[in-house]
A = this chain, B = another copy of it.
Amino acid sequence: MKFNVGCELNYSVSSDSIFVFNIAPIRNNHQTILEEKLLITPNLPHEDYVIPNFNSQYFRIQCPAGELAISYQATVESFPMQVDSELLYEVPPAKLPIETLPYLNPSRYCQSDRLSRLTQYEFGNLAPGYSRVTAICNWIYENVAYLSGSTDAQTSAFDTVTERAGVCRDFAHLGIAFCRALNIPARFVSNYSYALYPPDFHAVFEAYLGDRWYLFDPTRLAPIEGLIRIGAGRDAADAAFATIWGSAILQNMKVYADCLDPQPPIHTTKAIANTSN
């Protein structure tokens, strides 16, 4: 499936600042970048890199005071794997691949250690497998209000499980925390998302089931097949679209993800994966 994705970011920079952007879709065997354009105004050099274990692509810019405009656009072909979700079992700790173990640890926004008893009460008696992670997503959808502006950059799963309001990032954090509390490795994924209104970057989470990472979106705001993967990490702290040192204000932001295929993605009950590591 082909997508035209991208973003326009306009900053007002009041003193020499460093920006690290994570806005380019990753390249892997489920996502091909057919064409991509990055326009930086003024015309500043950028340093590209990938943090290996995050499998995310970053670029770093040093920008003097003034205006900074980032225009990124890419044509992406995605080949998500679709699996019959009933086949997907939870992997016991004795068999989990070693590189998934850190995703069982609590993190800044996903304090799974503090949610373990609640998780047992709510999900401990459910049959293990993909359906249990779906039950987690359903719980979040039914018990947490999606409310723009209700949370901020400090809000964590421990807050959200009680305060019951948040945005996609908070929904993902809570899903991750519940999974980890059940010994299911889980991580945060940032994306372009087809058919998301209002358009924005979109956060979902991934749980390790069977032999790979599968995507889950407790917000139900957009079809999972319409996600174009950008970055991943333990939680939002690892996957910001922009990290800034210095002094800059985001004045304007436009994000888009259009489907170029005649048949756009629709909601599905299949399990969907778009990475192999």
Complex contacts, A60 vs chain B, CB 8 Å:
94
Is A162 a contact of B237 with CB atoms below 8 Å? no
User: A76 to nearest B CB, angstroms?
Assistant: 24
Question: Could you say which of A95-103, A125-133, A210-218 contacts chain B?
Answer: A95-103
Is A113 a contact of B158 with CB atoms below 8 Å? no
A4 at the interface (CB under 8 A from B): no
Is B164 a contact of A102 with CB atoms below 8 Å? no
A270 at the interface (CB under 8 A from B): no
A51 vs B162: C-alpha distance when bound (angstroms): 32
- Within A15-62, the residues touching B (CB, 8 Å) are 18, 20, 49-54, 58, 60, 62
Complex contacts, A162 vs chain B, CB 8 Å:
114-115, 118, 158, 161-162
User: A251 to nearest B CB, angstroms?
Assistant: 19
Complex contacts, A234 vs chain B, CB 8 Å:
107
Is A165 a contact of B117 with CB atoms below 8 Å? yes
Is B154 a contact of A114 with CB atoms below 8 Å? yes
Which of B58, B115, B121, B153 is within 8 Å of A98, CB to CB? B58
Complex contacts, A102 vs chain B, CB 8 Å:
51, 54, 233, 238
User: A176 to nearest B CB, angstroms?
Assistant: 12
Q: List 23 A-B contacts (CB under 8 A).
A: A18-B93, A18-B94, A20-B101, A49-B98, A52-B52, A52-B53, A52-B99, A53-B53, A58-B98, A102-B233, A105-B237, A105-B238, A106-B108, A107-B234, A108-B111, A113-B154, A114-B163, A115-B162, A117-B164, A118-B143, A121-B143, A161-B162, A162-B162
